[in-house]
Structure 1
Amino acid sequence: MPRSTAPNPARRPAQPRETETTYLAGCGRTWAVASAEADLAYTDQAFPECPACPHRVEPEGGPPFCTLRPVNTAHPFAALAGLKLGD
């Protein structure tokens, strides 16, 4: 008898495993956090230089934040550095 290829509703899809990753802020601080996310938002802004930090993002209608990326990953806009726009 052939096996059924229908999904088993009792079986859940595998969840991403949350391992401790070291994240880097624009200011150079690092945090080790257990997360499967590609980047995180640091919203505490607890350091004295945070209000004047060039990496601070202040969206309309939301709290200011700094983006944290895993250490040794390229900036999300790094690919745009070599972009040539016309003559």
Structure 2
Amino acid sequence: MSRSTVPKPPRHSSQARPADTTYRAGCQRTWAVASAEPDLAYTEQAFPECPSCLHRVEPDGAPPFCTLRPVGSAHPFAALAALNLSD
């Protein structure tokens, strides 16, 4: 009787993980987080100035948050600054 063998899947000793990226909040605080996301939501709001921060977002039906963006990245609306609407 012949014995069939099923190949085992390859073992990965180290899966590809994103490198730590430094994110900055509106208050200029920074966090190093292992993420490849273009921005993150900071929901803890643990600092005294968080309730009055201009970068705080208060969506309907969800907790408030601050958007953390990678240090050195352009603001998401930076491309709009080059628009010429006076045609």
TM-score strictly above 0.5? yes
Residues of 2 paired with 1:42 and 1:16: CA distance? 25
Q: What pairs up with 1:43-62 in 2 under 5 angstroms?
A: 43-62=43-62
Residues of 1 paired with 2:16 and 2:35: CA distance? 9
Q: Name the SS for the 1:17 alignment partner.
A: coil
Deviations 1:11-68 (A, max 9, x none): 9xxx863210100111100000011211100000000000000000001111100000
Alpha-carbon distance, 1:82 to partner: 2.3
TM-score by length of 1: 0.77
Count of equivalent residues: 75
Which residue matches 1:83? 83
Larger Rg: 2
Q: Structure 1's 62 and 74: CA in aligned 2 closer, same or farther, altered over 3 A?
A: same
**Equivalent residues of 1:16, 1:36 under 8 A apart:** no
Contiguous gaps of at least 5 residues in structure 1:
1-9
Q: CA RMSD in A?
A: 1.8
The answer to whether the aligner puts 1:64 opposite 2:64 as a matched pair is yes
The answer to whether the aligner puts 1:19 opposite 2:19 as a matched pair is yes
Over the matched positions of the two proteins, sequence identity in percent amounts to 75
Residues of 1 paired with 2:16 and 2:28: CA distance? 27
Alpha-carbon distance, 1:84 to partner: 2.5
Residues of 1 paired with 2:64 and 2:23: CA distance? 18
Q: Structure 1's 33 and 17: CA in aligned 2 closer, same or farther, altered over 3 A?
A: same
Alpha-carbon distance, 1:81 to partner: 1.4
Contiguous gaps of at least 5 residues in structure 2:
1-8
